A and B are shown apart, each in its own frame.
Chain A
Amino acid sequence: MEEKIRITIDGREVTANPEQTILEAARENGIFIPTLCQYADTTNVGACRVCVVEVEKARTLVASCCMPVSAGMVVRTDTKAVRDAQRMIVELLWASGDHNCLVCEKNGNCELQDLVYWLGIEKPRFPIESPGYEIEKTNSMIVRDLNKCVLCGRCVRACNEIQVNEVLDFSLRGSRAKVGPAFDSDYIASECYFCGECVDACPVGAITFAQARFGGRPWELEKVRTTCTYCGVGCQLDLNINKGKIVKVTGNRDYGPPNQGSLCIKGRFAMDFVQHPDRLQRPLIRKNGELTEATWEEAYDLIARNLSAIKEEHGPDSIAGFASARCTNEENYLFQKFMRAVIGTNNVDHCARL
Chain B
Amino acid sequence: MAKLTKEDLKKIKDKVLAKSALKEEGPRARVTVHMGTCGIASGAKEVMSALMAEIADAGIRDVAVTTSGCMGMCSREPLVTVECLGREPIKYERMDAAKMKRVFQEHVLKGEIQTPFALARGEESSE
Within the complex, are A and B direct neighbours (CB within 8 Å)? no
Interface residues of A (CB under 8 A from B): none
